[in-house]
Amino acid sequence: MNIRKTFTFLAFYASTFVAASSAAVWEVGGTWYQSLNQPSFTPPSWVFGPVWTILYLMIAIVAYRIAYAQETSWKIPTLALWALQIVLNTLWTPIFFGAKNLGGAMIYIGLLWVTICVLIWTTRQVDKLSAFLLLPYLAWVSFAGVLNFAFWSLNP
């Protein structure tokens, strides 16, 4: 891997790191969160770190692969969707944990879910392996959406 490609990958991974670091700013799993009525299927707090670490690595790999894939008319729109999903991903944490706005977080996670679905479709036009790498992300965000909805329903 040459220096340009290494820098490109690190730039994409840094973007995912920014998304992940929003959890450090807000009291994720703190007193407020613990005081909420918890859905019965809420995973233990320790699960989120390892899952997101793996997902963020895969998300960065996808962006890197798209950036260096063969030229196609789908490449730029796919990278734009990738950027949109990382922004929505980053914004969810301060809305849920910072603003304590469960309904607002539900809207953002819904937008994120739709964006990931479209991203998978466009990514498939550029690089099939990358589209496959996004499926665990979609599955986890789907679960997180159900969990967000349950928190919203249980804590009016």
Q: Identify the CA nearest to 112 among candidates 132, 85, 136.
A: 85
Q: Is the pTM here over 0.85, yes or no?
A: yes
Question: How much is the pLDDT for 29?
Answer: 72
| Domain ranges, residue 28 | 3-154
| Res 16: pLDDT | 84
Write the DSSP assignment of 4-65 as a string of letters. HHHHHHHHHHHHHHHHHHHHHHTTTTSHHHHHSPPPTTPPPGGGHHHHHHHHHHHHHHHHHH
**Cβ proximity of 28 and 40 under 8 Å:** no
Structure tokens at 33: 């969160």
Reported as a single tens digit per residue, the pLDDT across 56-71 is 999 999 999 999 999 9
Q: For residue 55, give the CATH number of its domain.
A: 1.20.1260.100
Residue 9: pLDDT band with limits 50, 70, 90: confident
Residue 25 has pLDDT above 90, yes or no: no
What is the tens place of the pLDDT at every residue in 79-125?
999 999 999 999 999 999 999 999 999 999 999 999 999 999 999 99
Residue 129 pLDDT: 97
Per-residue confidence band for 21, with pLDDT thresholds at 50, 70 and 90: confident
Mean pLDDT, all residues of the chain = 93
- In this structure, what token pair is assigned to residue 66? 């798209």
Which residues neighbour 60 within 8 Å (Cβ) at sequence distance 6 or greater? 9, 12, 13, 15, 16
Q: How far apart, in whole angstroms, are the C-alpha atoms of residue 118 and residue 9?
A: 22
User: What confidence score (pLDDT) does residue 140 get?
Assistant: 98
77: exposed, middle or buried (C-beta count within 10 Å: 0-12, 13-18, 19+)?
A: middle
The sign one gets for the Cα dihedral 113, 146, 32, 34 is negative
Radius of gyration of the chain (CA): 16
Domain count, the chain: 1
pLDDT band at 1 (very low <50, low <70, confident <90, very high): low
72-90 pLDDT per residue, tens:
999 999 999 999 999 999 9
